[in-house]
């Protein structure tokens, strides 16, 4: 597919639909990494679907921007911003406590705070490697553990949805920490689904394809690294990746938010221990 045929370059391409406004009415959610990119998009989508959302991120200023966006579409009561480092167990526990205090409980948890330090194996410094494991694995573990504790205590079930990646299914070149941690998240969801099923808690993963809009992972340096990897110019990177999808469609944060909102709803009540791939058909066409 040529770059011109891909819908991301088509200014008339329709935006993703908004979720039904009552889909998650009465539900309380907590989203990590809510200050940017997919975490922000998912938090906004859940709020548009009627949920109240605790926004967790290490970046307070970014959280303010997400909170303001949600206040505009769903009202100021729809969210609560909590600054916390997802790798710090005390801070994570504190964030959940604040969410439960504010909303009277918790029904949905979406760990999304993640990083993607990209280096070839022989050049990979151990610092960024360890940081990726801490944020992408320990951070997801701490959030899921806290969510499970709250949900079991409440006795009304719940849903935990881990934001993994298609790179957890099909390895990206020169991206081993990301590949390993995203595959790890998918397998964590499967094991936790077995453990938490008896309590009525569903645990699933979503595996988005590349989502450029609003993402700080897709910063200028990362795009340059991808361009070098593929032997193309930086401005060709987005069309290149869109061209790898069967649909030739640029995935928006709202697309992933819609999948998460549906998966969190009772329409998906039989789904647990699964990975829902939302990549516009990239992994399947290989
Ligand atoms: N953008 C993509 O193409 C893509 C595709 C598939 C999956 N994902 C996944 O989506 C998630 C978000 O990716 P993104 O591209 O939107 O990234 P992003 O960098 O735009 O957002 C990540 C957010 O996580 C926060 N964060 C980082 N470390 C933290 C910590 N220790 N504690 C609390 N918050 C922390 C950052 O401040 C930032 O707001 C990641 O888990 C990523 O693997 C992204």
What CATH number does residue 168 fall under? 3.40.50.720
More confident residue, 76 or 135: 135
For the chain, give the mean pLDDT.
94
Question: Domain for residue 262, yes or no?
Answer: yes
Q: What is the pLDDT of residue 151?
A: 98
Question: Domain for residue 15, yes or no?
Answer: no
* 59 close to ligand 1 (CB < 6 Angstrom): yes
Q: What is the pLDDT of residue 2?
A: 37
> Is pLDDT above 60 for 9?
no
* N-to-C CA span, the chain: 15
> Is pLDDT above 90 for 285?
no
Q: Which two tokens stand for residue 151?
A: 């949900």
* 208 close to ligand 1 (CB < 6 Angstrom): yes
Mean pLDDT score, 17-35: 97
Q: What is the pLDDT of residue 132?
A: 98
- Antiparallel, parallel or unpaired: β 28-32 and 201-208: unpaired
Q: What is the pLDDT of residue 13?
A: 74
DSSP 8-state assignment for residue 48? H
Q: How far is the CA of 114 from the centre of ligand 1 (A)?
A: 4
* 34 close to ligand 1 (CB < 6 Angstrom): no
Can you tell me the distance from the alpha carbon of 190 to that of 193, in angstroms, rounded to the nearest whole number? 5
Question: Domain for residue 198, yes or no?
Answer: yes
Count the domains in the chain: 1
Q: What is the pLDDT of residue 206?
A: 98
Question: Domain for residue 224, yes or no?
Answer: no
Q: How far is the CA of 198 from the centre of ligand 1 (A)?
A: 31
Question: Domain for residue 4, yes or no?
Answer: no
> Is pLDDT above 90 for 61?
yes
Mean pLDDT score, 234-240: 95
The pTM is what? 0.96
Mean pLDDT score, 243-264: 97
Question: Domain for residue 156, yes or no?
Answer: yes
User: Cα dist. 121→31, 114, 197, 225, 283 in Å?
Assistant: 32, 20, 38, 14, 23
Question: Domain for residue 16, yes or no?
Answer: no
Question: Domain for residue 69, yes or no?
Answer: yes
Q: How far is the CA of 284 from the centre of ligand 1 (A)?
A: 24
Nearest-atom number in ligand 1 for the CA of 214 is: 20
Range of the domain at 51: 21-215+252-278
């Amino acid at each position: 597919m040529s770059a011109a045929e891909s819908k991301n370059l088509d200014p008339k391409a329709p935006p993703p639909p908004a979720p039904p406004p009552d889909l998650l009415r009465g539900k309380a959610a907590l989203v990590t990494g809510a200050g940017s990119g997919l975490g922000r998009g998912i938090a906004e989508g859940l709020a548009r679907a009627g949920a109240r959302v605790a926004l967790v991120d290490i970046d307070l200023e970014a959280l303010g921007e997400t909170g303001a966006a949600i206040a505009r579409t769903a009202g100021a009561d729809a969210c609560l911003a909590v600054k916390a480092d997802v790798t710090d167990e005390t801070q994570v526990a504190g964030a959940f406590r604040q969410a439960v205090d504010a909303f009277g409980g918790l029904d949905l948890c979406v760990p999304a705070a993640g990083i993607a330090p990209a280096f070839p194996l022989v050049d990979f410094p151990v610092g960024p490697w360890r940081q990726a494991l801490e944020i992408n694995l320990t951070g997801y573990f701490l959030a899921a553990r806290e969510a499970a504790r709250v949900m079991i205590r409440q006795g009304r079930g719940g849903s935990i949805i881990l934001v993994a990646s298609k790179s957890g299914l099909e390895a990206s070149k020169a991206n081993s920490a990301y590949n390993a941690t995203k595959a790890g998240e998918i397998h964590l969801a499967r094991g936790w689904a077995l453990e938490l099923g008896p309590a009525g808690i569903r645990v699933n993963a979503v595996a988005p394809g590349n989502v450029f809009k609003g993402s700080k992972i897709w910063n200028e340096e990362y795009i340059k690294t991808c361009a070098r990897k593929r032997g193309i110019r930086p401005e060709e990177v987005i069309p290149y990746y869109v061209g790898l999808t069967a649909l030739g469609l640029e995935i928006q944060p709202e697309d992933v938010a819609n999948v998460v909102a549906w998966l969190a709803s009772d329409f998906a009540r039989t789904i647990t221990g699964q990975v829902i791939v939302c990549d516009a058909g990239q992994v399947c066409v290989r």
